[in-house]
Amino acid sequence: MKRNVWKFNILMFAIVLGLLCTLQFKNVQGQYEYVPMKVIHDYKIAMESEKKEIANLREMIEDRKNKITEYEKIKEEGGRFKETMEEEINAQKLISGFVDVEGPGVILTLDDGTRELYEGEEADAVMVHDADILNIIRDLKVAGAEAISINGQRLLANSEINCGGHSMRINNQFFAQPFIIKAIGDPKKLEAALILPVSYGAKLKDIYGLYVEVNTVLNMKIPKYSEGVDFKYLKVLEEGE
């Protein structure tokens, strides 16, 4: 009889232990971290933009390869190498931002929001930050913008955009709100990149309450880059190095 009681106790202990292990396993498996939809939305937009930018860079690399092949062919055939290089220099000045340009595109006005702050919300939640402008510029480039300026400052690949208190430093000059961003390109594509529900511009307006106004234009002028270019780390690699 005592042996049967002992066996029964062992059996019950095993059953209880098994149940506890099962409950613990389910509890561990059920611990998920909550990720807001806004974060998922932001990551999705960033991934799509990066994919488009990578595609644009690959296209640019392929274009440069074709140019090199063209130069080598002209050199071998003893053709108009000097004239071809002069044409290419002028084209590069146009692309690089060292000449005034004009064409169709969009004009974006970006300013701080005027809505009431939510409970516990800081005032900078409705202010324009450098990250906001950088994201807008990224979307315009992905949409095919050929020239961009902010408050009259032409943007280059190495242009600096940083917050400085309540102002923004662009090309080593400080500007206050509003920020007028001009971009030359296909007006419809550029406008869509700024106002579609999945765009960063729409998020600034609809979610954060910033002032965002987008207008398409048939023709406008964007000035050339007026500052000197100072490369601190870049140097020309001589042939054979």
180-208 confidence digits (pLDDT tens): 999 999 999 999 999 999 899 999 999 88
Confidence class of residue 69 from pLDDT cuts 50, 70 and 90? confident
Q: What mean pLDDT comes out for the span 98-103?
A: 90
- Report the predicted TM-score, pTM, of the whole model to 2 decimal places: 0.64
Return d(Cα 96, Cα 89) in angstroms, integer.
10
Q: What mean pLDDT comes out for the span 143-152?
A: 94
CATH architecture of 101-226: 2-Layer Sandwich (3.30)
- Considering only residues 91 and 14, tell me which one the structure prediction assigns the higher pLDDT: 91
State the DSSP code for 76: H
Return d(Cα 70, Cα 91) in angstroms, integer.
15
Greatest Cα-to-Cα distance within the chain, rounded to the nearest angstrom? 111
41-61 confidence digits (pLDDT tens): 666 777 777 777 787 777 777
Nearest to 217 by CA among 195, 187, 197, 196: 187
**Residue matched to tokens 């007028």:** 180
Q: State residue 29's pLDDT score.
A: 45
Q: Using the predicted structure, report yes or no on whether residue 220 has a pLDDT greater than 80.
A: yes
- Considering only residues 48 and 216, tell me which one the structure prediction assigns the higher pLDDT: 216
Q: State residue 36's pLDDT score.
A: 58
Return d(Cα 241, Cα 234) in angstroms, integer.
15
